[in-house]
Amino acid sequence: MPVYHERQTRQLCALHTLNNLFQTRQAFTKERLDQICTDLNPNVWLNPHRSMLGLGNYDVNVIMAALQAWNCEACWFDKRKDPSCIDLNAIVGFILNVPSDYKFGFITLPLRKRHWIAIRQIDGKYYNLDSKLQSPECIGDEQQLFAFLKQQLQSNDRELFVVVESSSVNGNNEQPAKRWLREPIVANESETAGARSLTKTLNMNGHVS
């Protein structure tokens, strides 16, 4: 099965990440993500969830709303845990948020922005589907994936979101929620505060390209 991989155009890495994650160009369009921005803030002239120039640069709220349209959720991963605690059989994939250089043509400017990257399993192998890559990068098997994620998360300016089906975190009366963590899930105040702080930070500074 060929690996679907959209490459970077303008500031549309969120769009490419979603389509690469779901392995189809039909998953989302720029127009659909723009509509999500409008739905999130319908009564503002300058929408805070995208670039004011209309080039993309969508924030974390748009990513989360888009995933919900596919009955999925993005769960923030606590970097204090080892990635090997993730049950890979219970997830759809990963979205990584990383810093990125700001370039004007061939000139790198002294500014920092954010970049979204999709990671998922295809035909038994895990792939880095970064839209800035020339082609998909095969990470390897489960152990190689865990090593890759652990290396990425050693940097304080990188964040990992685990993408799961909504039933895996919400559940319902007929079907109890699945566990995507191998260890017991214990919600403590420090983890909850960390997630709130991260969302606030990405809302303020998390526009991406």
Question: What's the CATH code of the domain at 17?
Answer: 3.90.70.40
**More confidently predicted of 67 and 170:** 67
pLDDT of residue 174: 53
Domain-embedded: residue 32? yes
| Single pTM value for the model | 0.78
Kindly give, in sequence order, each residue whose CB lies less than 8 Å from that of residue 197, ignoring residues fewer than 6 positions away: none
Domain-embedded: residue 4? no
Average pLDDT over the chain reads: 80
Residues classed as catalytic: 13, 115, 130
C-beta atoms surrounding 86 within 10 Å: 24
Can you tell me whether residue 202 is helix, strand or coil? helix
Domain-embedded: residue 182? yes
Domain-embedded: residue 125? yes
109: containing domain: 13-205
pLDDT of residue 47: 53
Kindly give, in sequence order, each residue whose CB lies less than 8 Å from that of residue 123, ignoring residues fewer than 6 positions away: 1
Domain-embedded: residue 6? no
Comparing 34-38, 132-136, 171-175, the range with the smallest average pLDDT is 171-175
Q: Return d(Cα 81, Cα 181) in angstroms, integer.
A: 10
Kindly give, in sequence order, each residue whose CB lies less than 8 Å from that of residue 177, ignoring residues fewer than 6 positions away: 167, 168, 169, 170, 171
User: What strand order describes the sheet that includes 137-140?
Assistant: 72-76, 159-165, 93-104, 107-122, 125-128, 137-140
- What percent of the chain lies above the pLDDT cut of 90? 49
What is the arithmetic mean of pLDDT over 44-72?
74
What is the arithmetic mean of pLDDT over 31-59?
69
Count of domains forming the chain: 1
**More confidently predicted of 8 and 169:** 8
Question: What dihedral do alpha carbons 14, 15, 19, 21 form, nearest 10°?
Answer: 10
Q: How confident is the model at residue 12 (pLDDT cuts 50, 70, 90)?
A: confident
Domain-embedded: residue 102? yes
**Tens of pLDDT, residues 87-131:** 999 999 999 998 865 554 555 444 556 889 999 999 999 999 999
pLDDT of residue 15: 92
Q: How confident is the model at residue 186 (pLDDT cuts 50, 70, 90)?
A: low
Domain-embedded: residue 101? yes
pLDDT of residue 108: 47
Cβ burial, residue 194 (10 Å; 0-12/13-18/19+)? middle
Q: Is the pLDDT of residue 17 over 90?
A: yes
What is the arithmetic mean of pLDDT over 194-199?
52
pLDDT of residue 59: 84
Cβ burial, residue 36 (10 Å; 0-12/13-18/19+)? buried
| C-alpha count within 13 angstroms, C-beta hemisphere, residue 13 | 25
Domain-embedded: residue 173? yes
